[in-house]
Structure 1
Amino acid sequence: MNKKRSSKKLFIIWSVLPAFILFFIFMVIPTINVFWMSLFKWGGLTNKKTFVGFENFKILFKDLNFIKSFQNTLLLLVIVTIITMVLAVVSAAILSRENIKFKNFFRVIFYLPNILSVVVISAIFSAILDPKQGILNSTLKLLNLESLTKMWLGDQKVVIWCIVFAMIWQAVGYYMVMYMASMCSIPEHLYEAADLEGASKIKQFFEITLPLIWNVVRTTLTFFIISTINLSFLFVKVMTGGGPDGSSEVFLSYMYKQAYSNSSYGYGMSIGVIIFIFSFVLSLIISKITKRDIIEF
Structure 2
Amino acid sequence: MKDKKKLMLFLWACTLPALALFAVFDLYPFLRAIIMAFYSWSGTSEDQTFVGLDNFRTLMQDGVVWVALKNNLFLLIVVPAVTMGLSLLFAVLLTRKNNKLKESGFYRTIFFFPNVLALVVISILWSFIYHPTFGILNALLNSLGFESLVHAWLGETGTVMWALVAPMVWQAIGYYMIIYIAAIEGIPPDLYEVAHLEGASSIKQFRMITLPLIWNVMRITVIFFLINVFNQSFVYVNVMTAGGPDNSSQVLMTYLYGQAFGNGNFGYAMAIGVFMLLITVALSLISDKLMSRDSVQY
Normalising to structure 1: TM-score of the pair? Answer: 0.97
* Structure 1 spans left out of the alignment, 5+ residues: none
Which letter maps to 1:206?
A: R
How far, CA to CA, are the matches of 1:277 and 1:196 in structure 2?
Answer: 51
| AA matched with 1:280 | V
Structure 1 equivalent of residue 209 of structure 2: 208
Secondary structure of the corresponding residue to residue 253 of structure 2: helix
Stretch of structure 1 that moved more, 276-285 or 189-198: 276-285
- For 1:204 and 1:169, how far apart are their aligned partners in 2? 28
Listed one character per residue, the Cα deviations across residues 41-66 of structure 1 (whole Å, up to 9, x for unaligned) are 11112112221101010010110101
Q: Which moved more, 1:251-260 or 1:41-50?
A: 41-50
Distance 1:175 1:147 in 2: 35
Report the 3-state secondary structure (helix = DSSP H, G, I; strand = E; otherwise coil) of the residue aligned with 1:61.
helix
| RMSD, matched Cα | 1.1
Q: Which amino acid aligns with 1:245?
A: D
Give distance in 2, aligned partners of 1:242 and 1:203.
Answer: 45
SS for the counterpart of 1:96 is coil
Determine the C-alpha separation between the residues in 1 that align with 2:5 and 2:160. 61
Shift in Å at residue 171 of structure 1? 0.5
Q: State the match for 1:27 in structure 2.
A: 26
1:202-245: CA deviation from partner (whole Å, max 9, x where unpaired): 11111111111111111111110001111000000111011001
Write the distance in 2 (CA, Å) between the matches of 1:206 and 1:100. Answer: 22
Deviation, structure 1 residue 286: 1.8
1:53 aligned residue: 52
1:42 & 1:31 partners in 2: Cα distance?
Answer: 17
1:63 matched to 2:56? The reply is no
Aligned to 2:198: 197
In structure 2, C-alpha distance between the alignment counterparts of 1:291 and 1:150, rounded to whole Å: 42
- Counterpart-to-counterpart distance in 1, 2:257 and 2:57: 19
Residue 181 of structure 1 corresponds to which residue in structure 2? 182
Structure 1 counterpart of 2:259, one-letter code: Q
Amino acid aligned to 1:146: E
Equivalent positions of 1:141-160 (< 5 A) are: 141-160=142-161
Report the CA distance between 1:101 and its aligned residue: 4.5
Distance 1:60 1:34 in 2: 16
* Aligned counterpart, 2:89: 90
Matches within 5 A, 1:1-297: 2-97=1-96, 98-297=99-298
How much has 1:102 moved relative to structure 2? 2.3
CA distance in 1, matches of 2:245, 2:289: 37
Quick one: distance in 2 between partners of 1:241 and 1:260?
A: 14
- Aligned equivalents of 1:267, 1:31: Cα separation in 2: 15
Distance in 2 separating the partners of 1:290 and 1:10? 41
Q: Which runs of 5+ in 2 are unaligned?
A: none
Partner amino acid, structure 1, of 2:148 = S
1:141 is displaced (CA, Å) by 1.6
What amino acid does structure 1 have at the position aligned with 2:235?
Answer: L
> What SS does the aligned partner of 1:194 have?
helix
Paired-residue identity, %: 45
